Amino acid sequence: MSELQCWPTPLSGVMRVERGTHVDARGSFARLFCADALRQAGWTGPVAQINHSVSCARGTVRGLHYQLAPSAEKKLVSCVRGRIWDVAVDLRRSSPTFLQWHAQELSPHTGIALLLPEGCAHGFQALSDDAQIVYCHSAPYAPQAQGGVHPCETRLAIDWPLPVQRLSDRDASWPALGTDFTGVEP
């Protein structure tokens, strides 16, 4: 009825998760998380944390965030209202897609989510007012392990669909990835 199907993206280890949605006269039903279906895509262990993010204004960018080992985390990102441009950046030094990014438009109407492995930074841009996402984390937030990359990092050249706006002070202050950046260990 509401199966999850996982498909690889061009970014190593990042999966596109498609939800089946059941629609009837009452409305609709879709499964957002299923450990059995996601295990084959790399999700192991429990969900340690679930966050809900609301971006009030179109163009708002949040991210790019990641956590360092031993607090590295997988993330399953779903848009539950509005539309977002969801971005994963591969920061894993041993990955064949190191410093490459993949983006996917997410909305409740597409039934698509992104599953990011440890060692990938995550960010998104609101493509509509009142964009809301729910994301599951495989590890709890650890402030001492947080890392980030400025969303306009020139080495990444992310093609944001709208001008980058409304960055938090923290996100605006992430240092540039110097030429000496060799990646992270997930």
Alpha carbons 17 and 4: distance in angstroms, whole number = 6
Residue 48 C-alpha from the chain's centroid: 16
Report which of 79, 100, 74 is spatially closest to residue 10, judged by C-alpha positions.
100
pLDDT at 52: 96
Alpha carbons 16 and 31: distance in angstroms, whole number = 15
Q: Which of 65, 102, 122, 150 is catalytic?
A: 65
What are the helix and strand counts (H, E) for the chain? Answer: 2, 13
Give the pLDDT band (50/70/90) at residue 63.
very high
Quick one: tokens of 185?
A: 């260990």
Give the pLDDT band (50/70/90) at residue 40.
confident
Range with lowest mean pLDDT among 1-5, 38-42, 74-78, 151-155 = 1-5
- Beta bridge partner(s), residue 5: 18
HSE value, Cβ hemisphere, 13 Å, CA-based, for 146: 12
Give the pLDDT band (50/70/90) at residue 32.
confident
| H or E element in which residue 170 lies | helix 169-172
| H or E element in which residue 90 lies | strand 84-90
Instruction: Indicate if 137 belongs to the active site.
Output: no
Q: Which amino acid, one-letter code, is at 48?
A: A
112: left (phi over 0), alpha (psi -120 to 50) or beta: beta
Alpha carbons 41 and 47: distance in angstroms, whole number = 15
Residue 186 has pLDDT above 50, yes or no: yes
Q: Which of 66, 135, 137, 150 is catalytic?
A: 135
Q: Tell me which DSSP letter residue 171 carries.
A: H
171: left (phi over 0), alpha (psi -120 to 50) or beta: alpha
Alpha carbons 44 and 169: distance in angstroms, whole number = 33
CB contact at 8 A, 15 and 75 = no
Instruction: Indicate if 22 belongs to the active site.
Output: no
- What is the average pLDDT value for the chain, to the nearest integer? 94
Residue 179 has pLDDT above 80, yes or no: yes
